[in-house]
Amino acid sequence: MAFNLEMYPIIYMAQYNPETKNWDEKWIEKDRVSLKELQAMNEEDRAKVLANRNNLNLPGVSYTSQYGYGCFEGMKAFPTKDGGVSIFRPDRNAARFANSMKGLYCPAFPEEMYIKASAEFIRRNAELGYIPEYEKSWEEDNYATAKAVYMRPFMNTEGAIGVGCSQAPYVIICATTVSSYFKGGNTKAITTKRIRATPNGTGCIKCASNYVISALAKKEAENAGYMEVVYLDADDHKYLQEGSSCNIFFVLKDNTLVTPELGDTILPGITRASVLELAKQQGIKTEERKISIEEVMENVKECFVTGTAAGITPIESITHNGVEAVFNNREPGEVGTKLQYLLKGGQYGSVKDVNNWNYKVL
């Protein structure tokens, strides 16, 4: 399964009306095919159903399609050990989504509406069996193979041909069931000369066009035999920024946990913030600051990346200018493993949610 797209049948859509200054909401029911019925279909019929679900009847020529003008979120709903379903920190996603839309100078989607729509989205699709059930076996590998609902709220624009900012944006919520984002085995990373984001740009919002560079750099890294790419800053090409679609953490030899400080070139990851809070609660010294590639190559004993899709994924090594720094003998480190246990255990309900991060919907 990994991270493949098999859209759920019920989709949420809203559009801003500039005249009434309200959001007009609707639910799109592409079909009533249950998950069991879908799985029983032959490959051809199944492909037709899934293709129809991905036909959203949005403007073909728009600020989004012509100029990459748009933004999105990634969040997960988790089947929990008690038989329920919870969305992880949707308030943080709602706030970031609104901030991204404000950053694009278009009407922001109300945070309360975002949370309400997300919860109702899960309930409606659960009626057709699309929410995975909790499996105790997931606990054995620290949830590395666990399934979850990956929800993709995104903004699209009204039809347009000239360069401009949307005044009547659409907001859509769709979802697919996923497991691990990264493939097992190779967890090597390499620095790139490409620049993900520049000062005074859109690097700190979840802007769709930001990810074009990510896709190119990651493809180049994979072609060279690496799992992930790591960006350096635009000004000095010296300080660590992010991975292709994830924040990055380092454990120094003195056991300090360091992650690059936020600014206008780094996305404020929700998993990033959660990891920092969990680490502090465990008595781990944390620092948000600039960290140079030289310091990483010489003084880091453990490295991992974080994100809604990535969770907490260990990085075995980073190669820079042909030199490889290997972390923890290429094995997952103690700090990342502990934080993964606390994060995933809390999300799936096998560890007490002491921070009240889970928003229960079922």
CATH number at residue 173: 3.30.470.10
195 and 157, same domain (yes or no): no
Percent of the chain scoring above 70 in pLDDT: 99
Give the bridge partners for 75, in sequence order: 151
Q: Which domain holds residue 288?
A: 188-348
CATH (domain of 327): 3.20.10.10
Last residue of a domain, one of 131, 155, 178: 178
Residue 30 to residue 8: CA distance in whole angstroms: 9
Q: Is residue 62 part of a domain?
A: yes
Q: For 162-191, write each residue's pLDDT tens digit.
A: 999 999 999 999 999 999 777 778 999 999
76 and 58, same domain (yes or no): yes
Q: What integer pLDDT is reported at residue 180 of this predicted model?
A: 78
Rounded average pLDDT over 32-38? 98
Q: Is residue 354 part of a domain?
A: no
163 and 223, same domain (yes or no): no
Residues 6+ apart with CB under 8 A from 254: none
Q: For 117-139, write each residue's pLDDT tens digit.
A: 999 999 999 999 999 999 999 99
Mean pLDDT computed over every residue of the chain: 97
Q: For 243-299, write each residue's pLDDT tens digit.
A: 999 999 999 999 999 999 999 999 999 999 999 999 999 999 999 999 999 999 999
Q: What integer pLDDT is reported at residue 2 of this predicted model?
A: 60
* Number of structural domains the chain divides into: 2
269 and 173, same domain (yes or no): no
Q: Is residue 3 part of a domain?
A: no
Residue 155 to residue 27: CA distance in whole angstroms: 16
Q: Is residue 357 part of a domain?
A: no
Cα R_g (the chain), whole angstroms: 21
174 and 205, same domain (yes or no): no
Q: How many CB atoms lie within 10 A of CB 327?
A: 24
pLDDT of residue 94 exceeding 90 = yes
Residue 338 to residue 344: CA distance in whole angstroms: 10
Band of pLDDT at residue 1, cut at 50, 70 and 90:
very low
Last residue of a domain, one of 149, 178, 207: 178
Residue 286 to residue 295: CA distance in whole angstroms: 16
Q: Is residue 359 part of a domain?
A: no
Q: What integer pLDDT is reported at residue 185 of this predicted model?
A: 80
Q: Is residue 183 part of a domain?
A: no
Q: What integer pLDDT is reported at residue 181 of this predicted model?
A: 74
Q: Are 128 and 9 in contact (CB under 8 A)?
A: yes
Give the bridge partners for 161, in sequence order: none
198 and 173, same domain (yes or no): no
Secondary structure (3-state) at 194? coil
Residue 161 to residue 60: CA distance in whole angstroms: 10
Please, what's the b/e burial string for 100-124 (b: 16 or more CB within 10 A of its CB; e: otherwise)?
A: bbeebebbbbbbeebbebbbbbbeb
Last residue of a domain, one of 178, 208, 243: 178
97 and 240, same domain (yes or no): no
pLDDT of residue 345 exceeding 60 = yes
Rounded average pLDDT over 301-321? 96
165 and 256, same domain (yes or no): no
123 and 212, same domain (yes or no): no
Band of pLDDT at residue 219, cut at 50, 70 and 90:
very high
117 and 220, same domain (yes or no): no
202 and 291, same domain (yes or no): yes
Closest by Cα among 78, 133, 3 to 345: 78
Q: Which residue has the higher pLDDT, 338 or 4?
A: 338
Structure tokens given for 211: 């990810």
Q: Is residue 138 part of a domain?
A: yes
331 and 209, same domain (yes or no): yes
Residue 66 to residue 156: CA distance in whole angstroms: 11
Percent of the chain scoring above 90 in pLDDT: 95
Q: Is residue 91 part of a domain?
A: yes
